[in-house]
Amino acid sequence: MASKILVIGATGRMGKHVVQSSVKAGHTTFVLVRRSTLESDPAKANLVDSFKNLGVTILHRFFPSEFGMDVDKVNAVEPAMSMVVEKIQIRRAIEAEGIPYTYIACNCTNGSFLHNLIQLEPAGLTAPPRDKINILGEGHVTAVFNDEVDIGTYTIKAVDDPRTLNKILYIKPPGNTFSFNELGAMWEKLIGKTLEKIYIPEEQILTDIETYPVPTNIFLAINHSMFVRGVQNNYVIHPSFGVEASELYPEVKHTTVEEYLRRFI
């Protein structure tokens, strides 16, 4: 079965042969090329034109698949921090090579966090609990929650938008920032019932991270960074490095947290 192949460095000594071989083998082939390269080197521009004649798709910007938090702002404990460091290293490599990019910081996805109201226990919970909830820390630290459909919409709108070039696109629409306590109160109001709330102190969370197996310990370490350390909202988006999606694209009607939770009533 033919694969989709992305070639980076396609105008180099070996790259052009990789591209030609990929097309010959029947693969759907993509090439990532800097516009500045085409403008400054006629020979490479002609080579890229030959790629187009072969049916190769030319890409000019890189959207790393690191959807989540802004890794440059994350302060997490292990084992999550090692994953964060790897993503940071990829960012620095992209920037050092001068590859045009847009990083997407979508924060918490509803399908991963709100579908069970951020409960790791009991395992396999597919809807918010109706009896009791575990709350990390004191429950007052805020995080941002976004529906996956909206994240996809904002991402595609940013593809050819010069305002997002070499920037971080933060998806932080107004009204989608909540603390653990606020989420619990909203769910109680929707179901008309008071939940038992069990607050887990940070010391216990750190102990659990050390003793829980993979991948539970990774999820818990990520949750600790968000709901105890507050890494999603402890900085201001400055125009020098980032833009906010709902401000750039006010025409997008994003899903609110309440609208999402109503699906489970």
Helices (H), 14-147: 15-24, 35-40, 42-53, 80-96, 110-113
Name the residue among 172, 194, 176, 174 with its Cα closest to residue 185: 194
What angle do helix axes 216-227 and 202-211 make, rounded to 10 degrees? 160
What angle do helix axes 80-96 and 216-227 make, rounded to 10 degrees? 70
Active site residue 87: yes
Q: Considering the candidates 24, 52, 73, 87, report the single residue annotated as catalytic.
A: 87
In the block, residue with structure tokens 């192949």: 5
Name the residue among 106, 100, 74 with its Cα closest to residue 87: 74
The number of CA neighbours under 13 Å toward the Cβ of 232 is 28
Name the residue among 27, 33, 109 with its Cα closest to residue 67: 109
Measured distance CA(195)–CA(84) in Å, rounded: 34
Active site residues: 87
